[in-house]
Structure 1
Amino acid sequence: MKSSRVSRGVQVDEVWGAADAVLAQGERPTIERVRAHLGRGSPNTVAPMLDAWYASLAKRLGGGDEGVGEQGALPAPVLRAAKALWGRAQQHAQEQAAQSVQVDRDALERLVERLAAERVTLDQEQQRLNERSEALGAALQAKDHQLADLLRQVTDLQKGLLGRDAEIESVRAQNAAATQALQAERGRLNALNEEHRQERERLEQRASAQERRLLEDVDRARQELKRVTLLLADENKKAAKALGDSHELAQSLRVQVSALSAEKAGLAREILSAREDLQTAQSQQAQFRKNTTELLVELKTRLPKGDANAGTPAKRSKTKNVLKR
């Protein structure tokens, strides 16, 4: 007949005995070390039993050597190893607490230095933005004055152009009058020629002298007509050139006015952007000061009052947690 055995689970006394054996070897009992010593047992089963062993360790250590050999007491070697491990755990916890306090102090000092540097940087940035805003305001004011001067020049030039137009109209009227006079002179010459022809027919004896006189008059009239024509042509050229130069100058001034208007609009946008940057920097500085105050208050509340609290129940609880880990 085949015999069947029902496997028995890991018991509490087995886990405690394994933890005592691991502690006697100078090692901290952990779930894996206890399982390795037992050769069986799942972590979920061993973990609560090992926690109970740790919970009873302080009470068992408090019994001293008088409890050696009694039920539930630790063997002497295990007790000595546990006390040594307990002392090392307390010393490690105290050293770690002191290091934590020093690290917090160093971090606080670095934070204060960084906050001071950032505050100086923000103050410098605010000063730079203020200076930039003032410079842009002065530049915009100068551009406004310059634009006003150019507008006055354009107005004066337009008035001058109106005067030139009046002069040109006057020259044109004079030209028309001279043309009419020339036509009248031509008519008079034609009449004189006809009179000369008739006079020549009537007075053949006086023809030569009269003809010379008339030819001289005609020559003088032609010279005068030529002079007046050249004078009118020169005046027309000068007037046309002056009118063209005036139009070119007016166009150039209009281009300058347009450029200055665009530059003024750009400066206005830059001033608006600088003012927005200044408001943003001031808001950030106010939020930064508020966050700095809250952080300093929180750090002061978190820092320990002194080394006198090293043996308080909170320290002992922290030491027990270190031993458990």
Structure 2
Amino acid sequence: MARPGITREQVFEAAEALAAEGINPTVIAVRAHLGSGSPNNITRHLSDWRAQRETATVESVPAPPEGFEQAIRQVWAHAWKAAQAQLVGEREALNEARRAIEQERASMLAEIERLDAALEAAQERAMAEAQALETERRAHAQTREALREATVLAEERARQIERMDVERRENQVQLTALSGRIGTLEAENQRANADLELARQRLSEWRAQASQSPGTNGALAKELDSARNHAREARQIADLAGKKVAQLERDIEVERRAREEAERKLEVQERELAELRSRASD
């Protein structure tokens, strides 16, 4: 992230303010005073400020005290020149020391720059890791919710399988009962058909017997009446047997349809049960 530019005037004002407070205007102090700024820019502007201040100090030669004689003025000038020469030498040594300090400061500032960049990179990595962690946390939350829903669905399917197992067993019992009922009805139908056939045979016999009795005397008349009565009874028995056979056939048809419906329902339930078990095992 680029830092805002710091002007020469801002550095000069900060250095003057620090010096006025009795604080040595170092790069770190000026940067803290300004609140921001590139250490390299501050170093360059601060060097200009120090050079300008030293030049102003050196070039302002103090005037000799008023009222002194010419000799005193000469002594004063000689002393001042000697001091000035000494000051030049000290200034050169000071400049040399300052250059060494500036080099060391430049190294320190470069290290500060490097540490700042490393800090920013670390902050960016921490932010990226925090975002990744949040994404992973949400993914885990979604996974837990999906697992919970899957568990609920599995439990519901298990209950459905259990209910369908019960229904299938009940249907099988019902189907077995229907099959037994059909067998009973078919046996009863066979007996009714046999009774019907026997009644028809008896009716034919009585009719033949009646037709073979041409006489009209008392004994024959009684025998004819008896034959006719037997014929009527046989006809009634045959009619009842026929009706019973027809009813039994209708009952058998109803029971067969019920068994077919039960078989179809059982087949559908077995397919649904197999599908539920397959889903529950996924």
Q: Report whether the alignment pairs 1:121 with 2:135.
A: yes
Listed one character per residue, the Cα deviations across residues 259-305 of structure 1 (whole Å, up to 9, x for unaligned) are 11111122xxxxxxxxxxxxxxxxxxxxxxxxxxxxxxxxxxxxxxx
Aligned AA (2:269): L
Larger radius of gyration: 2
Counterpart pick for 1:166 among 177, 180, 185: 180
Alignment: residue pair count: 186
Question: How many Å separate the matches in 1 of 2:268 and 2:229?
Answer: 58
Shift of 1:195: 2.4
Aligned to 1:97: 111
Q: Which amino acid aligns with 1:201?
A: P
Residue number among 205, 214, 234 corresponding to 1:201 in the alignment: 214
TM-score, normalising length: structure 2: 0.56
Task: Give 1:244's aligned residue.
Answer: 260
Distance 1:215 1:184 in 2: 13
Q: Matches of 2:203 and 2:139 in 1, distance apart?
A: 92
Cα separation, 2, equivalents of 1:120 and 1:134:
21
Q: How does 1:90-239 map to 2 (within 5 A)?
A: 96-198=110-212, 200-203=213-216, 206=221, 213=229, 216-217=232-233, 219-239=235-255
C-alpha separation in 2, matches of 1:202 and 1:88: 166
Distance 1:230 1:177 in 2: 13
Counterparts in 2 of 1:215 and 1:176: CA distance versus 1, 3 Å: closer
Whole-angstrom distance in 2 between the partners of 1:96 and 1:233: 110
Measured after TM superposition, the shift of residue 153 of structure 1 is 0.8
Give secondary structure in 2 for the equivalent of 1:108. Answer: helix
CA–CA separation in structure 2 for the residues paired with 1:150 and 1:221? 49
Query: Is the Cα contact below 8 Å between 2:189 and 2:249 reproduced in 1?
Result: no
- For 1:41-60, what aligned pairs fall within 5 Å after superposition? none
Matching of residues 2-13 of structure 1 within 5 Å: none
- Is the partner of 1:201 in helix, strand or coil? coil
Structure 1 gap ranges (5+): 1-65, 67-84, 267-325
Give the superposition deviation at 1:112: 1.6
Tell me the distance in 1 between the aligned counterparts of 2:188 and 2:153.
Answer: 51
Counterpart CA distance in 1 for 2:205 and 2:133 is 105
Match for residue 263 of structure 1? 279
Shift of 1:213: 4.8
Matched-pair contact (CA < 8 Å) for 2:199–2:238? no
Bigger relative contact order, structure 1 or 2, given CA contacts below 8 A and separation 6+?
1
The residue type equivalent to 2:253 in the other structure is: K
Following superposition, the deviation at residue 218 of structure 1 comes to 5.3
Deviation at 1:212? 6.4
Supply the distance in 2 between the matched residues of 1:189 and 1:211 (Cα, whole angstroms).
9
Tell me the amino acid that sits aligned with residue 176 of structure 1: Q
Assess if the C-alpha contact under 8 Å between 2:203 and 2:235 holds in 1: no
Deviations 1:76-114 (A, max 9, x none): xxxxxxxxx999987875654332222111111111222
Query: Which letter maps to 1:257?
Result: L
Equivalent AA in structure 2 for residue 109 of structure 1: Q
Of stretches 208-217 and 168-177 in structure 1, the one that deviates more from structure 2 is 208-217
Counterpart for residue 43 of structure 2: none
Identical counterparts, % of pairs = 11
| Cα distance in 1 for residues equivalent to 2:120 and 2:244 | 104
CA distance in 2 between counterparts of 1:259 and 1:190 reads 63
Tell me the C-alpha RMSD between the 2 structures.
Answer: 3.5
Give the deviation of 1:135 after TM superposition: 2.2
In 2, Cα distance between the equivalents of 1:236 and 1:120? 72
